[in-house]
Amino acid sequence: MKSFISKLLVLVTLGVLVWVSFYTLMPDAEEFSEENPLGFSIERANEHVKKISEKPHSIGTKAHSEVRNYIVQQLQQMGLQVQTQKGYTLNSEGVFTVPENIITKIPGSDPSVKNDLMVMTHYDSAVHSSFGASDAGSGVATILETIRVFLKEEIPHRNNIIICFTDAEEIGLNGANLFVEEHPWAQNIGLVLNFEARGSGGPSNTILETNAGNSKLIKAFSKANSEYPMATSLMYSVYKKLPNDTDATILREQKDIPSFFFAFIDDHYDYHTANDTFKNLDQNSLAHQASYLTALMPYFANANLTELKSENESVYFNFPGLGMLYYSYAFIIPLLVIAWLLFIAISIYAIRKKTFTAFSLVKNIVWFIVILFVAAIVVYFGYQFIYRQYPEYADNLNGFTSNGHYYILAFVAITLAIVFLFYRAIYSGKELERSVPAPLFVWLLINTVVAIAFKGAAYFIWPVFFGLFNYYLIIRKNRPNLWVLLFFSIPAVFLFAPLIQFFPVGLGLKMLVISSVFSVLLLGLLMPIFIHHKKIHWLGVLCLIIASVSLLMAHNDAEFSNENQKPNSLLYLLDVDQEEAWWLTYDEYLDEFTSEYFTDETEVAEDVIFHSKYNSAFTQQSKAEVKPIAEAVMLMEEDTTFQKNERDKFTLKIAPQRKINRMEIFADQQVNFFNFKVNGKTAPSAEKNVFYQNRKTEKLLTYYAIDRDTLRLDFELKKGEQFELKVYEASNDLLENKNFTIIPRTENMMPKPFVLNDAIITKQILTIKAD
């Protein structure tokens, strides 16, 4: 009985350690209440978030100007001199607009060249319906409140501190591009601290942006002593392979300025949606952002920022209670070699003790790999099966449903059940000890691959070292102390348990298979504890019960409700030239809002793909009544004085006759334009790769309109070119326009994010011929 209680307590403690591995990632919001020693008031920060997120405020809207005025007023009330920077920008993807940045400076006592600290976030919300509380109202509030405390406490600082609230981040980082290209302060920046969000909750990840090595940056970050650092070289390596850029990316690419950016990514189903509201913002996530800036701004405002660049790379990771740990890439191979030698030595010792034979060692390794693949296959196809049972999930473009955490728990539990039941079928009694080296061997193989191809994950070797200690104890003693085994398992739990949730949260539920793989690998390192439970299959049964309950909870939350709203879309397209009109939608499945306009048999003729995060295409189209919608006035001029024999030069002016939010221009992708300018602006180019040449699609230009400004295109064409230029104008006022009577959405619906929505679109075609 005593032995049973001890084993049970160890399992309970293991569960507590898993909980601690998540709980210690970010602070409690109460630590940043009005009375906290730092002076940062989360209550004051919340007032900013509430004000900023009263309405959707994407670029070009009235609310966007109101948010800008509010931020300017708050800075001026602190005694700062504020300037706004407005101008045309054309990015490398062919997105053109007129952003208006908000910029101020806190002068340092002894500023020097290339040593200004820049703190930034963006103040525009995602088009068209996001309230922008998290993305990035939380960043604006964090910066405003930190500045207030910084100035009130008169914290001494040598470096200038530039505060920049960029505009047009959501449509293509245009505000950051404007600042880098045209503002003189961009020439003297040594480091950027950038605050972002990709959801409405969860811990805030620290990511580095640098063209050089990271060693000095991460050393400085560690010295700044942020209380809740969440930073790993794994995330640094993953981020570099993903296409998700931030404003800081522009400063790195164009000015070689390194940066840290901080972003929380959980509750991803709120990202860019109408549910990105203050009510849904996790207060602990906001506090986590505050914990970074309140520690880093005073430190880097007094540091020599010109010394942060390095050719060397470091492996780094955070560990509860120890903070940031880091070491040079030069140690990766030596540590791996030592681990392999230890594994081989302990295995030889075990064979000599006749704990197992070389053949049984190989057999157990094969079995573990089989278990790994079986679990991964079951989870992959299991989620595909689940996904097909709920066709409404197809309209969730975020890739993470509101019941997604139940699916993570369910499929992790299924994975654990597979492992426990396989172990019970393969091994019995004393034979369980023979299973211990197999996961270690697989982990060493993984670390070998990591050391060659993905060095940022090289800190994976440390739980393996502690696993080797447990391996030795089991071989050395018949019954090693369970608490000692548990102690040596702590690094594996703290480093790997959060990763099991991170990948499907950050990359979508399609990545549940990675959670499954990490679960098997983690359980393999914990097997020295579980082999002492002879009836290990009962743990598998318990996991199946947990999985069943989780799937049931996910099912109960799958239906759309006021909290879990169905995203849908409706657009009206008027073909001016053909005098025809159409209803369009991006929805895979119709609902009460859209079914009045479409049937399941409707075919899509309009195959244009407007600018959107996921390049979404229309799914339904049906005839509509022609309405009196004002089309653009277009004027084409050919420069007859142009002297190049092989080309002709043109100027096209497009003047909107109504208030539009966006203009999209398309041309035959075989047509190459030369010296393409938009209102006098050219796009930054990487060597000869520019957006208007060698296009993979017909998309030429996206213009996010401001104040009905006329669009002027200057370009050259090869003689003999003839093609149709398609011009689409869109206004996000379908639900308010007096020409239409659209029944409002019910409370269990919301506008579909990431795509053009609730819009009135006009289509015009202009034939261009270069003689």
Buried b (16+ CB within 10 A) or exposed e, 27-49: bebebbeeeeeebbbbeebbebb
Nearest to 97 by CA among 41, 4, 166, 146: 166
Last residue of a domain, one of 556, 584, 615: 556
DSSP-derived 3-state class of residue 283: helix
Distance CA 276, CA 129 (A): 9
For the segment 643-660, the average pLDDT, to the nearest whole number, is 89
Shared-domain flag, residues 295 and 403:
no
In a domain, 238, yes or no: yes
Shared-domain flag, residues 335 and 308:
no
In a domain, 325, yes or no: no
Residue 688: per-residue pLDDT: 61
- The conformational region for residue 684 under phi > 0 = left, psi -120 to 50 = alpha, else beta, is beta
Shared-domain flag, residues 163 and 300:
yes
In a domain, 666, yes or no: yes
Confidence of residue 10 (pLDDT cuts 50, 70, 90): confident
Buried b (16+ CB within 10 A) or exposed e, 649-667: bbebebebeeebbbbbbbb
Shared-domain flag, residues 525 and 651:
no
Average pLDDT, the chain: 92
Shared-domain flag, residues 640 and 617:
yes
Nearest to 368 by CA among 528, 535, 520, 530: 520
Domain boundaries, position 87 = 27-319
Contact between residue 522 and residue 493 where contact means Cβ atoms under 8 Å apart = yes
For the segment 440-445, the average pLDDT, to the nearest whole number, is 97
Shared-domain flag, residues 475 and 496:
yes
In a domain, 324, yes or no: no
Residue 236: per-residue pLDDT: 84
Last residue of a domain, one of 286, 319, 352: 319
Distance CA 596, CA 590 (A): 9
- Classify burial at 214, counting beta carbons within 10 Å of its beta carbon; exposed 0-12, middle 13-18, buried 19 or more: buried
Per-residue model confidence as pLDDT tens digits over 199-227 = 999 999 999 999 999 999 999 999 999 99
In a domain, 619, yes or no: yes
Shared-domain flag, residues 361 and 249:
no
For the segment 150-167, the average pLDDT, to the nearest whole number, is 95
In order of 209, 430, 517, 699, 763, the CA distances from 604 in angstroms are 42, 65, 41, 19, 16
| One-character DSSP codes across 623-647 | EE-----PPPEEEEEE-TT---TTE
| 314-319 and 566-568 strand pairing | unpaired
Distance CA 515, CA 169 (A): 32
Contact between residue 539 and residue 530 where contact means Cβ atoms under 8 Å apart = yes
Distance CA 682, CA 89 (A): 8
For the segment 624-645, the average pLDDT, to the nearest whole number, is 87
Last residue of a domain, one of 522, 556, 590: 556
Shared-domain flag, residues 443 and 589:
no
> Max Cα separation, the chain?
99
Distance CA 234, CA 212 (A): 17
DSSP tag of 137:
I
Per-residue model confidence as pLDDT tens digits over 248-271 = 999 999 999 999 999 999 998 999
Residue 429: per-residue pLDDT: 58
Return the beta strands (E) in 496-611 as ranges.
566-568, 571-575, 580-585
| One-character DSSP codes across 16-31 | HHHHHHHHTTS--GGG
Contact between residue 210 and residue 257 where contact means Cβ atoms under 8 Å apart = no
For the segment 134-162, the average pLDDT, to the nearest whole number, is 95
Q: Would the pLDDT of 320 be above 70? A: yes
Percent of the chain with pLDDT over 70: 97
DSSP tag of 166:
E
Residue 35: per-residue pLDDT: 61
Q: What is the dihedral angle through the alpha carbons of 308, 309, 311, 313, rounded to the nearest 10 degrees?
A: 50
Contact between residue 263 and residue 9 where contact means Cβ atoms under 8 Å apart = no
Q: How many CB atoms lie within 10 A of CB 54?
A: 17
Sheet with 699-704, edge to edge strand ranges: 89-90, 95-97, 699-704, 662-666, 722-731, 759-769, 571-575, 580-585, 620-624
Shared-domain flag, residues 499 and 597:
no
In 205-311, where does DSSP find H-type helix?
A: 215-224, 233-240, 247-255, 283-300
For the segment 354-364, the average pLDDT, to the nearest whole number, is 88
Q: How many CB atoms lie within 10 A of CB 480?
A: 17
Contact between residue 354 and residue 434 where contact means Cβ atoms under 8 Å apart = no
Q: How many CB atoms lie within 10 A of CB 375?
A: 25
Backbone φ and ψ of 676, nearest 5° = -80, 125
In a domain, 674, yes or no: yes
SS (H, E, C) 314-367: EEEEEECCCEEEEEEHHHHHHHHHHHHHHHHHHHHHHHHCCCCCHHHHHHHHHH
- Out of 249-258, 274-283, 469-478, 648-657, pick the least confident: 469-478
Residue 438: per-residue pLDDT: 94
In a domain, 350, yes or no: yes
What sign results for the dihedral spanned by CA atoms 405, 406, 411, 414? positive
Shared-domain flag, residues 258 and 405:
no
Q: Into how many domains does the chain fold? A: 3
For the segment 429-456, the average pLDDT, to the nearest whole number, is 89
In order of 170, 531, 717, the CA distances from 535 in angstroms are 54, 9, 77
Distance CA 644, CA 27 (A): 65
Backbone φ and ψ of 624, nearest 5° = -135, 165
Per-residue model confidence as pLDDT tens digits over 661-715 = 999 999 999 998 999 999 999 887 655 678 899 898 999 999 999 888 899 999 9
Shared-domain flag, residues 99 and 129:
yes
Q: Would the pLDDT of 124 be above 90? A: yes
Return the beta strands (E) in 12-156 as ranges.
82-86, 89-90, 95-97, 100-106, 116-122
Angle between helices 512-530 and 2-23 (to 10 degrees): 150
Distance CA 38, CA 145 (A): 11
Nearest to 509 by CA among 460, 544, 558, 449: 558
Distance CA 434, CA 427 (A): 9
Q: Would the pLDDT of 643 be above 80? A: no
Distance CA 135, CA 578 (A): 41
Chain position carrying tokens 């063209």? 211
Distance CA 518, CA 436 (A): 17
In a domain, 206, yes or no: yes
For the segment 361-389, the average pLDDT, to the nearest whole number, is 94
Distance CA 616, CA 644 (A): 40
Residue 357: per-residue pLDDT: 86
Distance of CA 622 to the CA centre of its chain: 35
Shared-domain flag, residues 400 and 472:
yes
pTM attached to this predicted model: 0.94
- Out of 35-44, 299-308, 314-323, 702-711, pick the least confident: 35-44
DSSP-derived 3-state class of residue 689: strand
DSSP tag of 210:
-
Confidence of residue 574 (pLDDT cuts 50, 70, 90): very high
Residue 2: per-residue pLDDT: 60
